[in-house]
Amino acid sequence: MTVLDAAAQSPVREEATPASPPTVDFDTAPDRYRHWRLDIEGPVATATLAVDPAGSLVPGYELKMNSYDLGVDIELYDLVQRLRFEHPQVKAVVMTGGLERMFCAGANIRMLAQSSHAWKVNFCKFTNETRNGIEDATENSGQTWIAALNGTAAGGGYELALACDQIVLIDDGSSTVSLPEVPLLGVLPGTGGLTRVVDKRHVRKDRADLFATKAEGYRGATSVEWGLVDATAPRATFAEEVGRRTSAAAEASGRPADAQGIALTPLQREVTDDGLRYPYVSATIDRGSRRVDITVEGPGDQPPRDAAGVADLGVDYWPLAVTRALDDLILRLRTNEPDLGTWVLRTAGDTEQVLAYDRQLHDLADGWLVNEIRHYYKRTLKRLDVTSRSLIALVEPGSCFAGLLLELALAADRQYMLEGVFEEVDPDAAPAAVVLTASNDGAFPMGNGISRLQSRFWGHDDLLEAARAALGRPLDAAQSLSTGLVTLSLDDIDYEDELRVVLEERASLSPDALSGMEANHRFVGPETVETKIFGRLTAWQNWIFNRPNASGPEGALRRYGSGQRASFDVGRV
């Protein structure tokens, strides 16, 4: 019997239909965790996965054998964030399991079988983003993650380990690592497993093929030889091996030993039937048009004098406050409002004040806190990049699309800019302008490893250099258009009618076709592990999830654990 068999519940009835998804709240804190325990001792933190079987986010399944659902991963995401912001003294993180001989059995099969396609896709997307955040912490925050596999790691459990910098597997004669999704479930290891095995851990492709089709996986010397794990150790010396690696990682870290963290206090958020409101960020929902209008406000005052002032402000420091609000808003809209297919992005505020904060983020980038804020904003923009929604940016009088906020417009699929002013509304207003800074030229790279500016002008180095020549200079509508930073500039007479046609047309097109088109357009240029996970792997997994071989009445997900083998259509497509 495999680990996944042991984790299975009673047979799934073939007539079962996907459960209605709940409204998901991404708020949590360590004192509210049901599935993770965080212990900190000096420079080392230990994150222990001990899933509450009765703590499922949605009724209808039990989280046996440390299997997980979205609720488990929401806690993990919160844990990763708190380690980075609240515990700067932590230099190494050990991820381990709280059950005997079991690290994690992976994503809960019953949850996947009963979930709608959209729920499965969003679940995989969020878990991938969380794994990427773990890797980002190792690479950019000096917090090296080490997986201490105290037992078997199957499927998504092994994918959790793959996100860590090092993997140590206990050598107890039975514990294995495996990716059994293909042979047992008829789907893929959707949290980046296939990609990380060959691209990150450099497992030879024939061995990777053997591994991904052997449901029981590998243990001991073979797993080390093939590169599936870094080391194995018997139970008697397992803790010693993990401790040795943890100490070495902590010694190599540049994290400050004496810095004071900042508390990630609960977000201030007002939710109504037609929108959400945070400090500096608001969203207004138009359900009839299947659209949400998002406005990001600039700061109300100048930045603090120095890094100490940034720390004193904590979560109220404008760039961090905006990032936290955007992060939460994207997650809530993406998960709870799938019918809102078009997001219209605006900004409002004083451009000079935005630029002052933009300069400060650059000038104080070597400090641990500002470094964390910059990388958090980078990750939030990446979350926007992979959100399956049409993004339209509007640059109007009163906008402050400059530096870090201009990244929002560059992330959009189209940008429309008003020439002049709205004559009947405010004829004395200053015309809109955009300002490129160094922030737009590499400070916040996309998943493809290059800036949104480089992506915009991919294959046109002359246009890229022309845009770089305009860094720091306000560009009006005509200049923005000639520089290639906006799609169209329109005068007051045509602006409203043109936007109405654009938004109505967008709402009339197939959401599926739009998602595929936008994802292909957004990620030009180099392919990375990240673009493979969110592009190639996700595209195949989305298709497979919809196929009867996986999700049909006789498919592998539905029949798993029932004692009946899946019935496959054997034709290759």
Q: What whole-number distance in Å separates Cα of residue 39 and Cα of residue 303?
A: 35
Catalytic residue among 75, 129, 135, 159: 159
Domains annotated on the chain, with CATH = 25-257 (3.90.226.10), 272-522 (3.90.226.10)
User: What residues does 146 pair with on adjacent strands?
Assistant: 94, 166
Q: How many residues does the chain have?
A: 573
* Residue 285 tokens, joined: 């929902």
Contact 389, 334 (CB under 8 A): yes
* Residue 501 tokens, joined: 């046609």
Q: What whole-number distance in Å separates Cα of residue 266 and Cα of residue 268?
A: 7
Q: What whole-number distance in Å separates Cα of residue 331 and Cα of residue 346?
A: 18
Q: What whole-number distance in Å separates Cα of residue 563 and Cα of residue 5?
A: 10
Contact 549, 97 (CB under 8 A): no
- Residue 247, CB-side half-sphere exposure with 13 Å CA sphere: 6
Determine whether 62 is an active site residue.
Answer: no
Q: Which residues of the chain have pLDDT under 70?
A: 1-20
Looking only at the bridges linking them, the beta strands covering 275-278 and 270-272 are: antiparallel
Catalytic residue among 129, 135, 181, 518: 181
Determine whether 240 is an active site residue.
Answer: no
pLDDT per residue over 85-136, tens digit each? 999 999 999 999 999 999 999 999 999 989 998 999 999 999 999 999 999 9
* Residue 57 tokens, joined: 């986010």
Find, among 404, 438, 434, 406, the residue nearest to 418 by Cα: 434
Tell me what pLDDT residue 7 has: 46
Tell me what pLDDT residue 14 has: 36
User: What does DSSP assign to residue 191?
Assistant: T
Q: How far is C-alpha 496 from the chain's CA centre?
A: 34
